[in-house]
Structure 1
Amino acid sequence: MLDDIWVDDSVFALRPDFAVLVMTAHGLRNGPTDDRSRQWLAAASESEIQTAKIDAWKDAYRAFGAKPQRTRPSVDALTRRMPLPEINRAVDAYNSISVKHALPIGGEDLDHYQGPARLVRAAGDEASEEALGQPEPGEVIWRDDAGVTCRRWNWRQVARTRLTETTTNAIFLLERLEPMTLEELKEAGEELAELLSELSPQVRISSRLLLDGK
């Protein structure tokens, strides 16, 4: 699965500093928010907002024609929702890491994917859920063989691949732009892996870093 995921060269041409740490978690035991994941959210809600990292994503949105004041990058939207919302344990885990590091993170159910995930510039005719709307030509989207899985890089995910309380196999996309360093990206991935392992001691986690030229 990890070896099949790719980022199109046109995305790197837009932002050569882009990198994504892809993590898969097999054998996850998810469930409703509990005291442990509630504590993660509370701690993250006390984090200082790192505006430089968020501003980098706003600039990336403008580069492909999106208006970040109308459709905000995920981490920008999340930091405006303090205290952080309770969703489920796995989502609480990655949302807490996202806010702590000002790092957009997407989490999705691998069993609902059709073919590999890939990050591309949209043609504009991709299949998309009605609630998500149709991507515009040139828009950066995550997609699989069935169509769009996330619009505007990390703005909004489809319901089809959403992480639910019954999810057992998941994929997490940790997306970096400068000024975040690759070392901090790696640290964020390790922290997320630790939280997922707390939830599910038997979980099997694998990761792969995708960046320009590699």
Structure 2
Amino acid sequence: MSGGPIDPAKTALVTIDLTNDFLHPEGAYGRAGQGTPELAALPLRVAPILPALRARGGLFASVQFTIEHVRGRPFLVSPHLHELRPFLAEGDFAPDSWGNKVVETLSPPDVEIEKVAYSAFYQTRMEHVMNALGIDTLVVAGIVTNGGVASTVRDAHMRGYRIILLTDGCGAFRTDVHDATLIALGSVSEQETCADFLARPELTA
């Protein structure tokens, strides 16, 4: 699927979970040996889009998986996630913590959206913020392709947004899973590399 020109002023770069706890060696996943060089390389690939889009009125929204911490109680991690990621500890992905911030390469975002599940739209203020700012096009990058990225893309499609998925701006823990997910999302998103998106006439003229 492909479309025509975008209006940069109505476009948001949306990154899913490109945060310290996921990508930095000292973050939750890094300390547990769960990071990969391929995922760690994503922010550098996405970063050049930020100044080009901002210069033409667009914005950058960082969506950040968050584990709620309640004083005097265990942190609120779902049983499903706890089983998958038993290394998660008190303080990981806590609201407003260093670990839960977008990586330095992409910092600071124009707006931060905390999410508690896969999708950027599930029980968040994402739709309110995008609509209030007149955003109709989402350029999506992040991790993992088959998780938070796919869920966000499908939810955005259901809400009528135009979606451009950056094929080399997102990644998964397995290349075959990443590739298969791109194929599956082809019916609900346009797909471009970071370089191709950056070369659009709307961003270079």
Provide TM-score, normalisation by structure 1: 0.27
Provide TM-score, normalisation by structure 2: 0.28
